[in-house]
Structure 1
């Protein structure tokens, strides 16, 4: 059932040497057999490299900064461990995340606690361990001040989270009036509270709005110091884009894809897709941000930070997890339908989390042929050697009509077969566990840490996160 269709859009992932070595090693079929279901493999060396690159970008710009890993981007313990070993912090938003970060070696003063309406237990633990707390509302600030004044613990370290003017309907942050009130209360709290600065989170990945708002926070720090507050740092959150594919592939895909290329004629809005290519990405995006001139200023953001003596805090998630892992499924059924194949794999779309944005994970999965009765690995059984491609959508092993991992009809170079593996690349950043659940009582895919890929046989272990 090969199809000669030169115009079917593809989206090849950027090459990654470590991932390619794992794919070529023969390890993945053994792991699929051992665990009897889908799994994720993690490449923590990529995390280390991204963390180093972020620090190098700060150093090159002459900016004092500190990086917190946004733990919500991946639950694996190994990334928290690598953050601790690398002297970075961790961004947490729950009691469980805070405890896990501490348990895996992160110092309390290297934690930042974010999220809305934090409960008293979380606030108490944050204060006890000297964590920095991004205050999202006035009642939260009051809880901190009252608790510290009556509890006999160390002063609370806080940032005041600012409502972005460009996103006035956001449910997060303090507006202008609330911010003025919060500053007054911080002054009155005296030594019971350390107001260390301001923070924000912006949706989207544009650099100019981030530079503009960061410059405003620098100005707020200077004004807060006049009131006697410390105000020595700002946090700009995450939002540093990464690139999954090259520019030509991305723009060609956007120009060519339409409902004909998806199972059941499903329509996706281009604006809902993650920007799978970015001209500047990761540490390069950070360098570009620091070089951006905020509106109304004659100098770049880096110069404003240096002159004001303001420490820049970052909370990247995806940007630290670029090429740090992939997700593996086994094909357990193949069906022909209307000129294309529907593959059913041994997992669910909940392991590829773009569905929460009414979107899908677009980078092409890699098909790994496996041994079967028809031939050796990489060979095709009789009747599958015709020229062209084999378009296939990928469904989950559930009874839900809408549960597809990939609606797009991916043009595979050979016919997929039952028992073959599908490897979705670069899924460590938000994809592999944000939406996972044991639906149908299916076990959650385990995470396999590949510590060494520079050997003929990679060394692996189970991640220490067991929840």
Structure 2
């Protein structure tokens, strides 16, 4: 019996013609059959467009800047390849990421090494290839200086990462006293170190705090130059927001959703949700940052950078991966329980990382039925093969033995009753969702990544991504 109810909160994604073309191409059922399990498809043209938009925003503001793709946001090799081809660098935080970037065409001097408490071997490897290192502690600085002085590596290119005053409990960055000590040691190290500037790691997605801290780091560059240091670059890290949905849908969702809309009465703190809508996003957020005025200053961020002759570096991840891929599961079981459905798919929530941060990936998944209902839904007799029309609310669980392993706790109002064998597509998952937490739990295979190459008319062509590790 169909569940005929209304009023279920929805969060529709922004339209994307490239994704829609894949959904309607007939390719996904074939890939699901071939792989026998979940998979991700990648749309690298979206990455190219996002990178060009950020580079254009820098140029429009007259700011000298350089973009590093934050590799941690997605392990796929194709995005590293596109970064290299598009004149960008790559932000890495491990030896494996560094080797992968080099192996896919990124020059050593176009790498930046971030992350806390970096191992000496990793620091040596980065210095040997001429990578820029965001130094997070005095120990790291001492390791790099000692290696250079003994001739084991070339002079180290470094940024000193600053602890933001607005986030004093952050585990990233050097405190004020540590920063003063680091500057003294850079001066004493002489040619063993190229102190190229400063960086920061700031949690959250607000623009104004980034504008304020950017101006503060420019001031630090000017002071460091008095000491004889190069200090001509600053990195603002990542944190540029993107929008998955429109403003009305997002605010309506937040206002209407309650624990009754989730399986087992699950409750989420709305403050733990990613902000799925932002007034400005991606390259527009970068433009807003450059046009903003730091607190207590008359000049814009762009003017402050230009006047000081400071190059702006950034390390976006999610913001470069907007609309660059999606995740596909096959439904392998359907139950009805207390007025809603429980779907079980052929994978785990490890492929949708928000669940493992006590949150929920909220954009509505798309049902690709084997026998879709066409036209209006008023007449259930329109459903082919006896399938009943919706709305049919259902939550989505994983193929594991854990009660908590849910891909979607929320009861999604599907257009028609899902059936075993239908596909469920989670849109816009390339940024952090695909592989931050994937694991072969239950010896299930980690979902492969399929690169969709653009074709001029006709059907999309695909190939497996060439990730090394």
**Common topology (TM > 0.5):** yes
Q: Does 1:299 align with 2:306?
A: no
The answer to whether the Cα contact below 8 Å between 1:66 and 1:313 also exists between their aligned partners in 2 is: yes
Q: Does 1:363 align with 2:363?
A: yes
2:458 corresponds to which residue?
456
Q: Which residue of 380, 383, 397 corresponds with 1:380?
A: 383
Cα displacement (A) at 1:446: 0.1
Render the CA deviation track for 1:96-117: whole Å, top value 9, x for unaligned. 0000000000000000000011
1:412 corresponds to which residue?
414
Output the CA distance in 2 between the equivalents of 1:454 and 1:132.
40
Output the CA distance in 2 between the equivalents of 1:226 and 1:324.
44
Matches within 5 A, 1:386-401: 386=389, 388-401=390-403
Cα displacement (A) at 1:457: 0.9
Provide the alpha-carbon RMSD of the alignment: 1.5
Output the CA distance in 2 between the equivalents of 1:370 and 1:28.
11
Output the CA distance in 2 between the equivalents of 1:200 and 1:465.
29
Relative to the length of structure 1, the TM-score reads: 0.97
Q: Which residue of 421, 424, 427 corresponds with 1:422?
A: 424
Matches within 5 A, 1:4-153: 4-153=4-153
The answer to whether the Cα contact below 8 Å between 1:380 and 1:415 also exists between their aligned partners in 2 is: no
The answer to whether the Cα contact below 8 Å between 1:130 and 1:154 also exists between their aligned partners in 2 is: yes
Cα displacement (A) at 1:201: 1.0
1:343 corresponds to which residue?
343
Secondary structure of 1:178's counterpart equals helix
1:168 corresponds to which residue?
168
Secondary structure of 1:400's counterpart equals coil
Output the CA distance in 1 between the equivalents of 2:178 and 2:355.
35
The answer to whether the Cα contact below 8 Å between 1:22 and 1:453 also exists between their aligned partners in 2 is: no
2:185 corresponds to which residue?
185
Number of aligned positions between the proteins: 463
The answer to whether the Cα contact below 8 Å between 1:21 and 1:453 also exists between their aligned partners in 2 is: no
Output the CA distance in 1 between the equivalents of 2:105 and 2:215.
34
Output the CA distance in 2 between the equivalents of 1:251 and 1:80.
35
Unpaired runs of 5+ residues, structure 2, are none
Render the CA deviation track for 1:301-349: whole Å, top value 9, x for unaligned. 0100000000000100000000000000000000010000000000000
Output the CA distance in 1 between the equivalents of 2:442 and 2:355.
18
Secondary structure of 2:383's counterpart equals coil
Secondary structure of 2:462's counterpart equals strand
The answer to whether the Cα contact below 8 Å between 2:350 and 2:356 also exists between their aligned partners in 1 is: no
Output the CA distance in 2 between the equivalents of 1:449 and 1:436.
19
Q: Aligned in 2, Cα 1:193/1:466: closer, same or farther, shift over 3 Å?
A: closer
Output the CA distance in 1 between the equivalents of 2:371 and 2:386.
17
Render the CA deviation track for 1:441-463: whole Å, top value 9, x for unaligned. 00000000001154321010000
Secondary structure of 2:416's counterpart equals coil
Secondary structure of 1:151's counterpart equals coil
Output the CA distance in 2 between the equivalents of 1:454 and 1:416.
33
The answer to whether the Cα contact below 8 Å between 2:80 and 2:101 also exists between their aligned partners in 1 is: yes
Q: Which moved more, 1:177-186 or 1:142-151?
A: 142-151
Cα displacement (A) at 1:152: 4.6
Q: Does 1:247 align with 2:247?
A: yes
Relative to the length of structure 2, the TM-score reads: 0.97
The answer to whether the Cα contact below 8 Å between 2:354 and 2:360 also exists between their aligned partners in 1 is: yes
1:234 corresponds to which residue?
234
Output the CA distance in 2 between the equivalents of 1:324 and 1:464.
16
Unpaired runs of 5+ residues, structure 1, are none
Output the CA distance in 2 between the equivalents of 1:139 and 1:302.
34
Output the CA distance in 2 between the equivalents of 1:48 and 1:113.
23
